[in-house]
Structure 1
Amino acid sequence: MDELAVALWEEPELGLHEEHSSKLLRETLEEAGFDIEAGVGGMPTAFVASYEAGEGPTIGILGEYDALPGLSQSVGSERDPIEAGAPGHGCGHNLFGTAGVGAAIAVSRALDRDDAGGEIRFYGCPAEETLVGKTFMARAGVFDDLDAAITWHPSDHTAPQRGGSLALDSLAFHFEGESAHAAASPESGRSALDGVQLLNTGVEYMREHVPESVRIHYNVENGGDAPNVVPAEASVWYFVRAPTREGVERVTEWLREIADGAAAMSRTEVSERYYTGCHRLVSNGAICDTFRENMAELGEVEFDEAEHELAGELQETFPEGALADRLAEFEPPHAEAADGATLYSTPMDAFDEGDPGGGSTDVGDVSQITPTAQFRATTWALGTPAHSWQAVVANGDFGRTALPYVAKLLAGSALDLLTDEARLAAAREEFEQHVDGYETPLPEGTEPPFDLTQ
């Protein structure tokens, strides 16, 4: 597993363009006897690897392997890009996918020994960072016959994730106007950038009148070329988040109305491109209990002195208050035990139950189809901000030490679900209490956004 994680880290790839990473993971599973279905959901780097032996449930392990833009970073305690502006694994997906592959192979060997019966699948899920992969895979129906799905995420602590996530819409508005000389003939022009700015201004006024849990972010993708030319084209990319799918859709409709108003005020034309959307995460408590039981049995990850030293050097570069803020989230006695630690891997109970969180994940769509849960495992220095260069360092160095632990935890939990009918039934019963059918958030005709590489 270590060599595989390094190979992915050394060649980071953006979402829907993970040709190298996807190929390495597929080849590893194929060599272990898995049947591979590639290109699922209309995405060449998405795949499903299956291994079946005997009668029993079908359990899925979700894996990711996309990187983030602009986070190229060498291993060291100072900011030092390998290639300026290039991608980097700031979210640990080089570890994420690798550990899942290792776990799936371990379960396949248990199936061969008749320790369990059924089917284990590894889902190669691209483009999680842009909330694309699993949503388009879900629309293709690849999760429909799963009895349960499990996954994990790199972090600075080890615990089940009992909290949720926010549903999301990702869409862009493109304004078209008329170019003209901005000084000699401004009356001849119609500024597309005015349309973008009016839309953004309208959204700022809208913020006062949406629930506090709603999150709206935007980025101007194109604002023109030169100050003395009235921009004929301009575009802005939006994320809309809310605790429910219905809430997201209400805010998105309001956003569209503001865009139409901005076009009317600027006398421009506006068009929309819907990139992707996702549902909220519904974390399954019965599966989280399974994770916690296995964590108690496995204990802690053992990091060596040099790894603790590098983690401590990274902590010195964190924003002021990052460590204190993290410790404030921990429950006693972990808050006290972790105080002063560089790497803290003692398993703890979840401290996020009932919290919808501030982010989004396309794991949410899987959780609307089958009982699903994930856990966090210590691969980063305590207090590490996600999507940071410090996380890239950890994912290329001491984070790899946790891979055997994570693979064992995933494999053990998958086997528990394969062999314990009562446990799986409890997970299904809980799922049916909280989920009432799945409907894709993708409008008809939406295709994977291969040009969305930001």
Structure 2
Amino acid sequence: MNSIENWFCENDDKIKQTERFIFENPELSLEERQSSQCLAKFMEEQGFSVEWNIGGLETAFVATWGQGEPVLGFLAEYDALPGLGQKPVEERCEIEGCGHGCGHSLLGVGAAAAAAALKSELEFSGKLGTIKLFGCPAEEIMYGKIVMAKQGCFDGLSAAITWHPSDSNRVGEDIYQAMDSKKFKFFGTTSHASGSPHLGRSALDAAELMNVGVNYLREHVTDDVRIHYTYLDGGEKPNIVPDFAQTSYYIRGKNREHVDDASARIERIAQGAALMTDTRYESELVASCMETKLNFTLLNAFYKAMSGIEVPTYTQEEIQFAESISKAANLKNQGKYFDGLHKFENREIDIFISTDVSNVSHIVPTITLNAATACKGTPLHHWAFTAQVGSSIGYKGMIYVAKSMALGGMMLIDNPEILLKAMDEHKNSSI
């Protein structure tokens, strides 16, 4: 543990520089060229060898060090969100473009720091083990790890380790939802909307009828199913019957069975809308992810690791920042901005969001930690989250969880029976 702590002390400036660069140069999914290069350079400077374009993705890489087993994989993300550019200040101060409203500038650097610190501990102890950092693009569009998993990038790992920024410190007992991301395209016939409407076949009408049908469907799906959509195309001018319309759908559910059922029914609604409007439709499955497969053996081990690291304390200035941003963003935290490590509840918790990490969890035992990089009540995908991610509050949370991941990784190496038990649980899980 001393060598892990020493590594963080010795590399604090470099960690800050790396995180700051990625935060200040946010890039959208599959466009993370500067971000991925920055993180890969950090790993090369720490003695890791880097391989690019894994899974056939330009901004994906794997950094590897060591030899033998176990093989521990750390998962890094670095894509930003559209429309969430924000200065790290206590009020809405929008910057044009994208921003890290989900904290991925911290996520990627925290995972990289954990991998490098674990390498330092292995070098100090002389123990065997292989450490891999996977640079995973495009989580925000539910794409990167799904493609990488299909290409076998995570095969051969003993365990996968990751984390996510949050408003609390806890091990991730959450079961993220399965999800389909689909696009529906309708093709009609253009004409003058007033002069010759009878000659037109409106693709927009088809899209709207589809959405009406889906809204009626909501009464007849299981309570866990969530369906949300947006229009991507709908025509240019109101006096032209649009011959093309396009919508984007996310269809989520507690498990693949529920998602598959809802997705198939929505497909038939789209077909019906096309028939009603004498148009043609096509659908595209953009991405499809599984629900999370939890591993309680790893959860228990990493809870012990998190318990062994001192949780962050905050200066009066940071408390005032949290107070000001809570007022500006109308956060419902009742003046309690931070707390310690939440108790491990040893139970499954269903949540209504999705992640491509879930697909990795079906291949190899996987652990996700959460760390408070924002004050309590701050929602993800919000300007207030972006602001705190770029502040000292976000940085402290990242360092805390990075140390926890490194210590947890060392526990797995020192106690091979944990990994054997984790793999047995993974193989025998009912999910």
TM over 0.5: yes
Q: Scaled by the length of structure 1, what TM-score is found?
A: 0.89
Q: CA deviation at 1:318?
A: 3.2
Alpha-carbon distance in 2 for matches of 1:244, 1:4: 37
CA deviation string 1:153-172 (max 9, x = no partner): 11111011112110011010
Q: Is the 8 A contact 1:62 1:151 kept in 2?
A: yes
For 1:373 and 1:406, how far apart are their aligned partners in 2?
12
Which residue among 265, 272, 279 is the counterpart of 1:254? 265
Alpha-carbon distance between aligned partners in 2 of 1:350 and 1:15, rounded to the nearest angstrom: 33
- One-letter amino acid of the structure 1 residue matched with residue 402 of structure 2: A
Which residue of structure 2 aligns with residue 74 of structure 1?
A: 87
- Cα distance, 1:250 vs. partner? 1.7
**For residues 351 and 207 of structure 1, what CA distance do their matches in structure 2 show?**
32
Deviation at 1:271, TM superposition (A): 0.9
Does residue 168 of structure 2 align to residue 164 of structure 1? no
Structure 2 partner of 1:335 = none
Alpha-carbon distance between aligned partners in 2 of 1:61 and 1:291, rounded to the nearest angstrom: 14
Q: Which residue in 2 is equivalent to 1:327?
A: none
TM-score (norm 2): 0.94
Other-structure match for 2:44: 30
Q: Which amino acid in the other structure matches residue 183 of structure 2?
A: A
For residue 9 of structure 2, what is the aligned residue in structure 1?
none
SS in 2 for 1:273: strand
| 2: CA distance, partners of 1:384 / 1:185 | 53
Matching residue's letter, 2:375: A
1:358 is matched with 352
Deviates more, 1:246-255 or 1:177-186: 246-255
Q: Distance in 1 between matches of 2:422 and 2:147?
A: 25
Pair 1:235 & 2:246 matched: yes
Give the drift of 1:228.
Answer: 0.8
Percent identity, aligned pairs only, is: 38
Q: Which amino acid aligns with 2:122?
A: L
Alpha-carbon RMSD: 1.4
How many aligned residue pairs are there? 416
> Does 1:176 find its partner at 2:187?
yes
The answer to whether residue 70 in structure 2 is matched with residue 57 in structure 1 is yes
Relative to structure 1, the CA distance from residue 176 to residue 2 in structure 2 (aligned partners, 3 Å threshold; closer, same or farther) is same
- Return the letter of the residue paired with 1:117: L
Partner residue of 1:329? none
Whole-angstrom CA distance in 2 between matches of 1:368 and 1:356: 17
Shift of 1:366: 0.5
Query: What is the aligned counterpart of 1:388 among 374, 379, 382?
Result: 382
Distance 2:326 2:123 in 1: 45
Aligned counterpart for 1:3 among listed residues 17, 40, 44: 17
Report the CA distance shift for 1:197/1:375 in structure 2 as closer, same or farther (over 3 A).
same
Deviation, structure 1 residue 353: 3.0
Q: Does 1:400 align with 2:395?
A: yes
Say whether the 8 Å CA contact 2:222–2:258 is kept in structure 1.
no
Is the partner of 1:171 in helix, strand or coil? Answer: strand
Q: CA deviation at 1:116?
A: 2.8
Which position in structure 2 is the counterpart of 1:298?
Answer: 309
Q: Is the 8 A contact 2:200 2:241 kept in 1?
A: yes
Q: Describe the SS at the equivalent of 1:316.
A: helix
Moved more, 7-16 or 113-122: 113-122
Deviation (angstroms), 1:395: 0.6
Which moves more between the two structures, 117-126 or 401-410?
401-410
Show the counterpart of 1:114. Answer: 125
Verify the 8 A CA contact 2:187 2:280 in the aligned structure 1.
yes
Q: Secondary structure at the match of 2:398?
A: helix
Structure 1 residue 102 displacement after superposition: 0.7
Equivalent runs, 1:281-292 vs 2, <5 Å: 281-292=292-303
User: What is the CA–CA distance in structure 1 between the aligned matches of 2:38 and 2:159, rounded to whole Å?
Assistant: 25
Contact 2:370 2:401 in 1 (8 A): no
SS at match of 2:207: helix
**Residue segments in structure 2 that go unaligned for 5+ positions in a row:** 1-14
1:53-81 superposed Cα distances (whole Å, 9 cap, x missing partner)? 3x321011111100000001112222111
Structure 1 counterpart of 2:228, from 212, 217, 227: 217
* Structure 1 portions without partners, runs of 5+: 324-338, 437-454
Deviation (angstroms), 1:403: 2.8
- Residues of 1 paired with 2:183 and 2:398: CA distance? 38
Query: How far apart in 2 are the matches of 1:383 and 1:369?
Result: 33
CA contact (8 A) 1:6 1:396 kept: yes
State the alpha-carbon separation in 1 of the partners of residues 101 and 185 from structure 2: 30
CA deviations 1:219-274 (Å, max 9, x no partner) are: 01111111111111000000111111122122111111111111000100101122
